[in-house]
């Protein structure tokens, strides 16, 4: 199939391209097909990548401990529905950063076999956490390095794509404090080194500034949230030296700014957050788009609505924020040779719109057609 007469952004260059996108067997390539569709006046961008979701979580459930009341059969069906909603919204790739029973891995495999509709998935399985720590209910709790090694091996045997470590506490777990570290430096460094030796990237959940410092020392692949929480509250413990080290070590920051953050837009907190992101940006820290979809009231197709909010808080231009959701996200997640750009040889993952989303980011929520691995998918 040849998608003719499009104006498209390829995900890499700053300029728009006017031309055709040829697709053969799910790959962007040469113009060999005799079939074509005319999209004169339309615009295209690469498929969106959400680098932090939880497919097993029901966003309508506000108490995380109540998630277990949902039957396994219902959870699996809900994962299928959520995955389909994501790809119909234009999210063609996602990184699932935690669940308790590896159902998301099962869904990943079904998607890859074209048995169910959904985005390309990278899955972390059960996060390593402390015994009563953040998301301990997923089964990854430990109070020893030996047990942590066992948990890591269990994830590898389950077929994960990366390892997740809860370095600090979190919001949704009773008794867990986002500002506090859950392990000492030596523990985290050893676990990260073991994962790296086995060729697995490590995503580190970090709200507190001390935890961010710990993640940097250990050399993780991505820092999730990066909230700079300290004794003075959320975002009010920014540390220039730690931020500079994040940049020096080329660690990506996945800030999980979703559409729910819009409620802070006119608050004093907004200025604190924006100041932090401007400092990080000035230091050369690179961001990837992420939503933490699955937490209360953040639905799995949230990314198109979240991107304009992300751009606001991180002071990113439309081009910068879309790179964070496409080519940069692909690079950060080890997928740049597979997806993230409209480029010959890559997977045919792109979205077609009636208007240019680079002119107005709200257009992202109004796709005309989604193409995922060469398959045409109509939005809801």
265-279 average pLDDT score:
94
Q: Give the residues across from 91 on adjacent strands.
A: 48
pLDDT digits (tens, 9 = 90+) for 91-147: 999 999 999 999 999 999 999 999 999 999 999 999 999 999 998 999 999 999 999
Q: Return the CATH class of domain 48-332.
A: alpha beta
pLDDT, residue 357, reads: 98
**Domain(s) of CATH 3.20.20.140: residues in the chain:** 48-332
CB-CB contact of 218 with 187 (8 Å): no
- 17-24/27-28 β-pairing: antiparallel
Domain 2-45+341-377 in CATH 2.70.98.60: no
Q: Which residue has the tokens 């399985």?
A: 125
Strand ordering across the sheet containing 163-166: 163-166, 202-208, 222-229, 252-254
Closest-CA residue to 296 (of 170, 182, 185): 170
CA 166/CA 159 separation, integer angstroms = 20
Domain limits, CATH 2.30.40.10, in the chain: 2-45+341-377
In the chain, how long is the greatest CA-to-CA distance?
A: 64
Predicted confidence (pLDDT) per residue in 302-314, tens digit: 999 999 999 999 9
Query: Using one digit for the tens of pLDDT, what is the confidence trace for 156-169?
Result: 999 999 999 999 99
d(CA 101, CA 18): 46
Global confidence as pTM: 0.97
What is the helix, strand, coil percentage profile of the chain, to 5? Answer: 35, 25, 40
Report the pLDDT value the prediction gives residue 63, as an integer from 0 to 100.
80
């Amino acid at each position: 199939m040849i998608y003719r007469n499009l104006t498209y952004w390829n995900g890499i260059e700053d300029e728009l391209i006017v031309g055709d996108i040829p697709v053969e067997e799910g790959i962007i390539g040469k113009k060999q097909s005799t079939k074509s569709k005319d999209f004169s006046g339309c615009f295209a961008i690469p498929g969106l990548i959400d680098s932090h979701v939880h497919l097993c979580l029901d966003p309508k459930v506000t108490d995380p401990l109540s998630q277990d009341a949902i039957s396994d059969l219902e959870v699996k069906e809900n994962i299928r529905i959520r995955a389909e909603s994501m790809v119909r919204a234009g999210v063609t790739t996602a990184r699932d950063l935690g669940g308790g029973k590896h159902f998301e891995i099962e869904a990943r495999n079904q998607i890859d076999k074209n048995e169910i509709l959904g985005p390309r998935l990278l899955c972390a399985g059960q996060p390593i956490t402390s015994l009563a720590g953040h998301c301990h209910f997923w089964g990854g709790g430990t109070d020893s390095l030996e047990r942590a090694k066992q948990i890591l091996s269990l994830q590898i045997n389950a077929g994960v794509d990366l390892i997740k470590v809860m370095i600090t506490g979190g919001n949704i777990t009773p008794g867990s404090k986002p500002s506090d570290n859950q392990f000492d430096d030596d523990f985290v460094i050893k676990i990260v080194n073991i994962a790296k030796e086995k060729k697995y990237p490590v995503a580190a959940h970090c709200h507190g500034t001390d935890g961010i410092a710990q993640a940097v020392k250990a050399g993780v692949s991505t820092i999730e949230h990066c909230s700079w929480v300290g004794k003075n509250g959320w975002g009010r413990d920014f540390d220039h030296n730690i931020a500079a080290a994040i940049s020096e070590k080329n660690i990506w920051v996945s800030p999980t700014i979703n559409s729910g953050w819009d409620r802070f837009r006119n608050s004093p907190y907004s200025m604190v957050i924006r100041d932090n992101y401007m400092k990080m940006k000035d230091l050369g820290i690179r961001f990837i788009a992420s939503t933490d979809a699955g937490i209360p009231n953040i639905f799995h197709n949230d990314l198109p609505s979240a991107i304009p909010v992300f751009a606001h808080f991180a002071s990113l231009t439309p081009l910068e924020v879309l790179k964070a959701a496409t080519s940069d996200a692909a690079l950060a997640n080890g997928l740049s040779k597979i997806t993230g750009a409209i480029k010959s040889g890559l997977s045919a993952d792109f979205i077609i719109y009636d208007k240019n989303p680079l002119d107005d980011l709200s257009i992202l929520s109004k796709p005309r057609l989604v193409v995922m691995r060469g398959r045409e998918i109509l939005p809801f």
